[in-house]
């Protein structure tokens, strides 16, 4: 490859300049080994051409072209800004509907639904196990009736909706499809994403219904059904966010997320689907942590790795199958209860990393989320953070503006190499499912989390307001807290009782029986879930059939 003038000039001055720099560093008594990324990777004090083995065509190219390191669209944000998709959900579906309309009125461009714990675990609000948790950390959705209230007055054919749910994801998607149909919206016009990433639940977040194999079968059913009936829907949002929030390093987040994605691709191909049909509807969900440059490099490495494997390993021919399109959320785990206003600064830095890393949509956390569900004021500040980045900073005007930096390219390659090492280890151990069932991935995350926490407690990792620059009043931050009315649970119980009274009980039971039969016969379960939704079968009733037929997952002991 032709050597650039910059590289030639750098070599001319390199020998003498490096000698003088090394002498200055020795005099200052600074050593490279003293500094690391948040993840613990060593950082040199300066990077030079010697640190970069870069072939422009192979490793970078242009935005919108393979290997997509520089972005998935030719003009990136010049053509279209990232979607500002603030995560929201609390209390009843009526209360969350009001919050959605508030966000849309203030410039949000997509919806993102947070569900409460009973819903995430596939339980109705009136089940004994749900007591005390209804509506507390997200919205309670137990039936199509709740979904209809949630989306009341919101044009489902025009608004893109993301739903962060996994174990019961096919059931919740069925509620959404049925709700759209009742609004008069053709499923082919529905746009959005359902997370539906069950592997990372076993690895990090722990919200599941059934063991891995039947859960993976349901994911295949979702991909098959949506390819025909809901073609604009992203059927899986393969999530590194929860892996990172559980304590992983950036390299582990990158590696385990992409390894999970490769497993879903293998399963789709094995189910008889054309990789160039279903792979382009896969999307990803990454964390943006506070280590600014490492996060940018992580996003760039993710695109390059995915493009290479999709083309070379899975034979994808459509460029859209090789594009890793992803949503980013700023790091919840980086926020502190002490001096919560500082979280606005942390979130801004993380959001900027997501933008410079080329995300397609972004959620900015609110400053008060370590204390409660966010208040409207905190949510508005979080949304305005994105709008200021988009409208005032000019960072959206150039695609991948940090490309070519010796440091950026070296760190991108380092993360890529670390991920490939994990892929090889996972393969040696029998693949992602085997590694998850044996607890290997969970142990790796656990070790990283413990190492980080020990560094914070020892003071070697400094966190403002926690172990440095601490103030006496930090234990009692003066900030408004959003509280959930205890009446929410009672209201949900009453809604469910009324629903069961007014629906056709024979039709509901018939659809539940059809779900059971599809479990046994291998029929498409999403198709049956949509029919059951229209009969107003509840989430808990449908999930109950799945548990009876497939059993319940028991996680391995992690030592």
User: What value, to the nearest 5°, has the Cα angle with vertex 376 and ends 370 and 377?
Assistant: 85
Residue 541: inside a domain: no
- List the beta strands (DSSP E) in 313-390: 326-330, 361-363
Q: 361: how many CB neighbours lie within 10 A of its CB? A: 23
SS3 category, 372:
coil
The yes-or-no verdict on residue 480 having pLDDT over 90 is: no
What total number of domains does the chain contain? 1
Q: Residue 320's domain is classified under what CATH number?
A: 3.20.20.240
Which of 19-33, 123-137, 172-186, 467-481 reaches the highest mean pLDDT?
172-186
**What average pLDDT score do residues 293-307 get?**
98
Q: What is the pLDDT of residues 138-181, one digit of tens each?
A: 999 999 999 999 999 999 999 999 999 999 999 999 999 999 99
Q: Give this prediction's pTM.
A: 0.90
Residue 407: inside a domain: yes
Which of 143-147, 205-209, 474-478 reaches the highest mean pLDDT?
143-147
CB 340 within 8 A of CB 479: yes
Q: What is the pLDDT of residues 505-541, one digit of tens each?
A: 999 999 999 999 999 999 999 999 999 999 999 999 9
Residue 245: inside a domain: yes
The yes-or-no verdict on residue 311 having pLDDT over 80 is: yes
Query: What's the mean per-residue pLDDT of the chain?
Result: 92
Q: What DSSP string describes 19-38?
A: HHHHHHHHHHT--GGG-B-T
Peptide bond into 520 cis (omega under 30): no
CB 511 within 8 A of CB 156: no
Report which secondary-structure segment, H or E, holds 113: strand 111-114
Q: What is the pLDDT of residues 338-359, one digit of tens each?
A: 999 999 999 999 999 999 999 9
Can you give the pLDDT at residue 487? Answer: 85
Residue 277: inside a domain: yes
Residue 455: inside a domain: yes
The count of C-alpha atoms lying within 13 angstroms of the C-alpha of 286, restricted to the half-sphere facing its C-beta, is 37
User: What value, to the nearest 5°, has the Cα angle with vertex 65 and ends 75 and 272?
Assistant: 120
Q: How far apart are CA 386 and CA 384, in angstroms?
A: 5
**What average pLDDT score do residues 1-18 get?**
60
The count of C-alpha atoms lying within 13 angstroms of the C-alpha of 443, restricted to the half-sphere facing its C-beta, is 10
Express as a percent the part of the chain with pLDDT over 90. Answer: 77
Q: How far apart are CA 131 and CA 127, in angstroms?
A: 7
State the residue range of the domain holding 345.
56-475
Q: What is the pLDDT of residues 53-78, one digit of tens each?
A: 889 999 999 999 999 999 999 999 99
Q: How far apart are CA 488 and CA 91, in angstroms?
A: 6
Nearest to 86, CA basis, from 103, 62, 61, 63: 103
Q: Read off the tokens for 126.
A: 């009136």
Residue 37: inside a domain: no
* pLDDT band with cut points at 50, 70 and 90 for residue 1: very low
Q: How far apart are CA 245 and CA 242, in angstroms?
A: 5
Can you give the pLDDT at residue 517? Answer: 98
Express as a percent the part of the chain with pLDDT over 70. Answer: 95
CB 381 within 8 A of CB 367: yes
Q: C-alpha distances in angstroms, 204 versus 200, 257, 284, 297, 543? A: 6, 11, 16, 23, 21
Residue 138: inside a domain: yes
Residue 49: inside a domain: no
Q: How far apart are CA 230 and CA 218, in angstroms?
A: 16
CB 297 within 8 A of CB 69: no
């Amino acid at each position: 490859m032709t050597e650039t003038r910059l590289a030639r000039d750098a070599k001319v001055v390199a020998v003498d300049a490096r000698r003088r720099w090394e002498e200055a560093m020795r005099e200052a008594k600074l050593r490279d080994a003293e500094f690391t990324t948040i993840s613990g990777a060593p950082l040199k004090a300066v990077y030079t051409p010697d640190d970069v083995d870069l072939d422009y065509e192979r490793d970078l190219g242009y935005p919108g072209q393979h290997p997509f390191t520089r972005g998935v669209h030719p003009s990136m944000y010049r053509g279209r800004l990232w979607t500002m998709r603030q995560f929201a959900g609390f209390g009843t579906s009526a209360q969350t509907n009001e919050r959605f309309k508030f966000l849309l009125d203030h410039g949000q461009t997509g919806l993102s639904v947070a569900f409460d714990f009973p819903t995430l675990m596939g339980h109705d609000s009136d089940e004994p196990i749900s007591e005390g948790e209804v509506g507390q950390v997200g919205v309670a959705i137990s039936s199509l009736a709740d979904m209809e209230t949630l989306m009341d007055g919101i044009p489902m054919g025009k608004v893109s909706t993301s739903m962060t749910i996994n174990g019961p994801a096919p059931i919740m998607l069925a509620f959404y499809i049925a709700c759209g149909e009742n609004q008069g919206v053709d499923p082919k016009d529905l746009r959005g994403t359902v997370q539906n990433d069950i592997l990372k639940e076993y690895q990090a977040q722990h919200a599941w219904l059934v063991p891995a194999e039947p859960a993976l079968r349901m994911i295949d059913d979702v991909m098959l059904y949506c390819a025909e009936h809901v073609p604009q829907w992203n059927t899986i949002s393969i999530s590194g966010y929860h892996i990172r929030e559980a304590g992983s390093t950036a390299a582990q987040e990158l590696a385990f997320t992409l390894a999970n994605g490769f497993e879903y691709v293998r399963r789709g191909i094995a189910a008889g689907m054309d990789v160039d049909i279903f792979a382009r509807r896969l999307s990803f969900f990454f964390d943006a942590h506070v280590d600014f440059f490492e996060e940018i490099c992580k996003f760039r490495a993710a695109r390059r790795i995915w493009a290479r494997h999709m083309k070379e390993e899975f034979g994808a021919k459509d460029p859209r199958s090789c594009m890793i399109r992803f949503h980013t959320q700023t790091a919840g785990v980086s926020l502190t209860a002490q001096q919560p206003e500082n979280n606005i600064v942390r979130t801004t830095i993380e959001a900027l990393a997501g933008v410079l890393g080329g995300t397609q949509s972004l959620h900015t956390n609110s400053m008060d989320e370590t204390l409660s569900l966010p208040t409207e004021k905190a949510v508005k500040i979080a949304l305005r953070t994105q709008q200021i980045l988009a409208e005032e900073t000019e960072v959206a005007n150039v695609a991948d503006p940090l490309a070519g930096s010796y440091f950026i390219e070296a760190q991108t390659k380092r993360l890529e190499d670390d991920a490939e090492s994990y892929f090889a280890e996972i393969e040696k151990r029998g693949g992602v499912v085997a590694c998850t069932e044996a607890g290997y991935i969970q142990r790796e995350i656990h070790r990283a989390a413990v190492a980080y926490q020990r560094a914070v407690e020892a003071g070697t990792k400094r966190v403002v307001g926690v172990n440095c620059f601490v103030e006496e009043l930090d234990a009692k931050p003066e900030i408004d807290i959003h509280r959930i009315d205890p009446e929410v649970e009672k209201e949900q119980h009453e809604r469910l009782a009324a629903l069961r009274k007014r629906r056709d009980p024979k039709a509901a039971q018939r659809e539940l029986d059809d779900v059971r039969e599809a479990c046994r016969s291998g029929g498409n379960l999403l198709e049956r879930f949509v029919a059951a939704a229209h009969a107003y079968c509840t989430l808990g009733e449908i999930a109950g059939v799945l548990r009876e037929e497939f059993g319940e997952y028991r996680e391995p002991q992690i030592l």
